[in-house]
Structure 1
């Protein structure tokens, strides 16, 4: 829990009284590799802080092809945010790519604190703003960068991650096939 508090304080300082209330809402949970944190087709109610591990958010098309949307690692908040915020059916899957240590909380309980703890609401706003900026940058990368540039950006953004996850997850995140990723890697590493 100390790590969670340090993360919150780094985003937006909160008062001791707020921390005491917030801390009561989180409980530890382990996910084993390949276990799901969120499933498409249901309304999600849980958000979590990732203390350790790697998760991916992805969706499947009608043919069953998977498209990786993002990765969550230590010091990230994870959740099916569209479902959490709107109360609508979730459309993404969130799966552990490694064993994970999480601190989970009921999302509606967290948001009920906004009216009584403005410092918590400020934290949530800053967190949401950070995710919004990340999402916008990701959309720009997919639209404006070629596959080589996207791969290099991925490596800079997630240093060392590709040594811990399957290459087809990396390819899916980049919007290319695993074969294309192999060619890009061979070309880049041949230059190094």
Structure 2
């Protein structure tokens, strides 16, 4: 739990009393490669603190093509936030790409604590703001940057990801085909 406390305090400091109540909500969860934290179509109930491992958020269109929206690497907050807030079925699955260690909590239990602990409510807002900014940044990158630049940014943000996950998932995240990704990788190896 020390990792969670340190992670939280980097985002928005909370009091020790607040954290003592918050940590009561969390339980450990192990996922193995291919396991889902939350599936498409489910009603999300849990939020998680990813301690170790990689989780990808993705969806599949009507033609069966996968789109990787995001990668989460430890330490990260994971969960189907839209489903949690709207109480509607989740549209974006979150799947472990290897063995993962997660601390999970019932989102409604955390929301109940917001009434008593305003520093926790502020933390929730800061996390939401962070993910909003990250989403906007990715949208801008996809619209304004060419595939080479998006690839370099991905390598900077997730330095060891290419060594651990399939190429098609990286290509999907970048909005290109696996063949295009192979060409880009070859080009940067040769230079």
Shift of 1:63: 1.5
2:10 aligned with 1:10, yes or no? yes
2:138 aligned with 1:125, yes or no? no
2:181 aligned with 1:181, yes or no? yes
Equivalent residue, structure 1, for 2:86: 86
TM-score, normalising length: structure 2: 0.98
Q: Distance in 2 between matches of 1:141 and 1:16?
A: 39
Shift of 1:67: 0.3
Give secondary structure in 2 for the equivalent of 1:169. helix
Q: Distance in 2 between matches of 1:41 and 1:123?
A: 28
Gaps of 5+ in 2: none
Q: Distance in 2 between matches of 1:80 and 1:183?
A: 34
Give secondary structure in 2 for the equivalent of 1:150. helix
Equivalent residue, structure 1, for 2:48: 48
Question: CA RMSD for the aligned pairs?
Answer: 0.7
| 1:39-86 superposed Cα distances (whole Å, 9 cap, x missing partner) | 111211111000000000000001111100001110100001110111
What aligned pairs does 1:1-192 form with structure 2 within 5 A after superposition? 1-191=1-191
TM-score, normalising length: structure 1: 0.98
Give secondary structure in 1 for the equivalent of 2:67. strand
Shift of 1:176: 0.5
* Misfit runs of 4+, over 4 Å: none
Give secondary structure in 2 for the equivalent of 1:98. coil
Q: Distance in 1 between matches of 2:13 and 2:41?
A: 36
Shift of 1:9: 1.2
Give secondary structure in 1 for the equivalent of 2:165. coil
Give secondary structure in 1 for the equivalent of 2:172. helix
Give secondary structure in 1 for the equivalent of 2:40. coil
Shift of 1:188: 1.3
| 1:10-55 superposed Cα distances (whole Å, 9 cap, x missing partner) | 1111111111110000000000011011111121111100000000
Give secondary structure in 2 for the equivalent of 1:113. helix
Q: Distance in 2 between matches of 1:128 and 1:75?
A: 16
Q: Distance in 1 between matches of 2:171 and 2:141?
A: 14
Q: Distance in 1 between matches of 2:99 and 2:117?
A: 33
